[in-house]
Amino acid sequence: MDYDRWDALLHHIFKQTQGDAWFRPQEDNLTSGVAIRVSDSPPEFRVFPYENLSLEPFEAAVKGLNPVPAVAVKIRSAAVHAALADLRDGEDSLYVDVNTRIQVLDTMLSLPHADTEQCAAFIRDERVLIVWSASIDAIIPICQDFDDRLIKHLWRSRPAVAATSSSFSSAPNSIVGHAGDAGSLSGHSLVSSVRRHSQLPSAPAASTSDPEKALTDSVTSSGPRTKTKRTWWGKKVTVIIDDTPPKRKTALYAPVYNGLAAAMAAVFMGNGVKILLWEWYLD
């Protein structure tokens, strides 16, 4: 089979938007797919996977949209399936967040009557999400954005599970009782086992004290440090290393500098006053 640029785009879009393609429904006539418009008059679409009869209703429904999109993607993933499973009968929309509402249609035949401004619609009976766009460049970011919003919606709306202390206390016994069967470990027992085995031993009492004091005590108890040197005639001499810092000598330079500066300032000020008085006397 000879491929062209449309086939390359179909394969790329399918690969980027069908990350959950491993998820297969029980019905054999439901599948994911991508439809891309290859001709404008009349509108003609090429659908991938090729020669799949179950995608013919999807292609016909996309052709019925007004305006006709450039590309449409049929997504059947675990996130879409879980989001539709939480819907009650009769609901015609799903709020994935406060700013995003996705319309819900009963069948694929209702897709031509969908609100095209939303660029997406859930199909209730097939439990799929149809995403379309007038630009081929925008379809992949749109699908990824919808997928992220669905995951966040499912995470926010998850049921609260209260972790009781009794479940954690009974976990070690369940691990011991089922040590030979790895598949029988429950989530609580596994978490409890990990926490139980990952507990750090208690720190020694010395670590809670002052580290500098501990270091000083260890040095003092071991005695003064010594160092062996050789004299110029080769004799070994052991000397004691004095670890005490040298005392800083008091230098009285600042008072001398300050006194000289004050004296010079007084001389210059007196000389200036003398000049002023002499000038006044001469005038």
User: pLDDT category, 159, cuts 50, 70, 90?
Assistant: confident
Q: At 116, which CATH number?
A: 3.40.225.10
Q: Is residue 184 part of a domain?
A: no
DSSP string, 54-86: GGHHHHHHHHTSSSPPSEEEEE--HHHHHHHHT
What span, in angstroms and rounded, lies between the C-alpha atoms of 31 and 52?
Answer: 9
- Looking at the DSSP bridge assignments, the partners of residue 74 are 33, 130
pLDDT, tens digit, for every residue of 189-223?
A: 433 443 444 444 444 444 444 554 554 454 445 56
Calculate what percentage of the chain has a pLDDT beyond 70: 72
The pLDDT value given to residue 210? 53
Q: Is residue 111 part of a domain?
A: yes
Least confident of 38-42, 96-100, 200-204, 257-261: 200-204
Q: Which amino acid is at 26?
A: Q
**pLDDT score of 244 more than 80:** no
How many CA within 13 A on the CB side of residue 221?
6
The pLDDT value given to residue 165? 46
User: pLDDT category, 18, cuts 50, 70, 90?
Assistant: confident
Q: Is residue 276 part of a domain?
A: no
Least confident of 10-24, 81-95, 171-185, 260-274: 171-185
Least confident of 33-37, 64-68, 71-75, 259-263: 64-68
**Mean pLDDT across the stretch 91-114?**
90
Its domain, for residue 124, covers: 5-156
**Mean pLDDT across the stretch 23-45?**
75
Q: Is residue 40 part of a domain?
A: yes
Q: Quote the mean pLDDT of the chain.
A: 77
pTM for the whole structure: 0.54
For the chain, the domain total comes to 1
pLDDT, tens digit, for every residue of 168-182?
A: 444 444 444 444 444
The pLDDT value given to residue 222? 56
Q: Is residue 272 part of a domain?
A: no
The pLDDT value given to residue 30? 60
Whether residue 71 contacts residue 132, with contact meaning beta carbons closer than 8 Å, is answered with yes
What span, in angstroms and rounded, lies between the C-alpha atoms of 220 and 245?
Answer: 16
